[in-house]
Amino acid sequence: MKKVSSHLFLFITCLFLFAFQCDEENITLSEEELKELADLKTEIETLASSSICNESTECKYIAFGSKPCGGPWSYLIYSTSINTNVLENKVEQYNQLETVYNAKWGVVSDCALAQEPSDVICEDNKCVAVF
């Protein structure tokens, strides 16, 4: 009886360890995808921050990022002095990639809503959000 109990204990222990083992390949893949997101985010923020405003440009904003609970992480402020089609396409790509990443890796966050600007204005040649 002791032999059966010890074999059963060993079997359950091995099963438990197998079920909860760390999958290094998944961790590496997750880190690679996270780096891709971070690089794209930096590229987007750099492009947006290079925009200037004056009497011949318009200030705008766009929902940026994808929270696991839904909605954006923030709103990105920019002006029409840059190629807005490129920026808006990159933001759309980023938002979609982050949505997929969140679902794939079970990311969680608070469910607070990012405050949407009521307006964006030009101050000292930079677009500024008004809340």
Q: What pLDDT, on a 0 to 100 scale, did the predictor assign at position 24?
A: 58
CA atoms within 13 Å, Cβ hemisphere of 88: 9
Place of tokens 């929902």: 63
Dump pLDDT digits (tens) for 11-31.
555 444 444 555 556 678 899
CA 108, 41, 96, 81 torsion: positive or negative? positive
What pLDDT score does 14 carry?
46
**What are the pLDDT digits (tens) for 31-63?**
999 999 999 999 999 999 999 999 999 999 999
The reply to whether 124 falls in a domain is: yes
Number of domains in the chain: 1
pLDDT of residue 27: 76
**10 has a pLDDT exceeding 60:** no
Q: Residue 15: inside a domain, yes or no?
A: no
Q: Does residue 31 form part of some domain?
A: yes
In a 13 Å sphere around the CA of 7, the CA atoms on its Cβ side amount to 4
Establish if 103 belongs to a structural domain. yes
113: containing domain:
24-130
Give domain status of residue 10, yes or no: no
pLDDT at 25: 63
pLDDT confidence band for 1 (50 / 70 / 90): low
Is residue 106 domain-resident? Answer: yes
d(CA 58, CA 119) in angstroms, rounded, equals: 12
Residue 39 falls inside a structural domain: yes
Burial 24-33 (b: 16+ CB within 10 A, else e): eeeeeeeeeb
- Per-residue pLDDT tens for 69-119? 999 999 999 999 999 999 999 999 999 999 999 999 999 999 999 999 999
Would you say residue 16 lies in a domain? Answer: no
